[in-house]
Structures are given as structure tokens and as C-alpha cells.
Structure 1
């Protein structure tokens, strides 16, 4: 999985069920990937404030999910923030 993340810029986590901790999100941030995810379980806490390392949206709001995905495709700042957040030992 890490090899794929290293070659990526963005990770999409469209979870529909609770996740206790977002290990995949942490791995993605370590590889400088921005994230768009649903706001299920521990993912919002892992990703942090909306717009920082990525975005999370309500799992039933596909239009907002699409909007946030396009924002991340257009910007690299969220990727830099993700790497900084994980490097600081969060």
C-alpha cells in the first residue's frame, strides 16, 4: 500500500461504516497525500481540521464529496500540510 501512496497525490476514503482510527489516512499523510474522506468514526480526528490535511464530508452528501475532491485536485497545499502534521509527531 505504501508504494502506491508514494506514487499518489490524493487518497479517497469513502467509508460508510465506523472506523476507530484512520491508519490509512496517517500513511497517506506521511506520503504527502491529501485526503478526502467521509466523517465516519475517527477519520475526522485523524485528518484534522477541514482544509488542513484534506477534507471530510457527510457520508450521504455526494455533491460535497465531489466538490472537496476537485478542490484537492487543484491544490498542493493540503499535501504539504499533511506531511508537516505527521512529521511533528501528531
Structure 2
């Protein structure tokens, strides 16, 4: 095999190793969720509101959702705190 082909194979192998061992934002979010491996850490989400806000940030950073300002994103469901304090 030519030298260029070997360099390509080595570069591809290094890239695969980086993909395997490098955590992205979504993996971090999943580990901090109530079902994740770091659910008992200090960085774990304390409320559903905090968890949802963090998920929206992650999806925005990954480019999976568009950036919507609060006026474009209407509040449909009450928060857990609103449900508890309801008369």
C-alpha cells in the first residue's frame, strides 16, 4: 500500500478514537439526568425546570433546534411548582 493510503488509515483511526473517548454535550446531559450515571453528583439537575433548560441549551449547541426566544416559544404546560401551589 502507498504511503498516502497508510496515512489516511492512521488519520481515520485517530479520529475514531477521538469520537469514542470524547464526551459531547448530550452525553454529559444524559449522565446528569435522574437516570444517568452521575445523578448523585453536585452538578446533577435539582429540578425539572433546570433539566429542561439544560437540554434546550444542549440541543441548541448541537444545532438540532433553532434558537427561539421566549416570546416565540409559548408556555403551554404549568411548572411543577405551579401545580403544587394551585388552589
> Which one has a bigger Cα radius of gyration?
2
The TM-score with structure 2 as length reference comes to 0.29
The answer to which structure has the higher helix fraction is 2
- Which structure ranks higher in relative contact order (CA pairs < 8 Å, sequence separation ≥ 6)? 1
With normalisation by structure 1, the TM-score equals 0.29
Higher strand share: 1
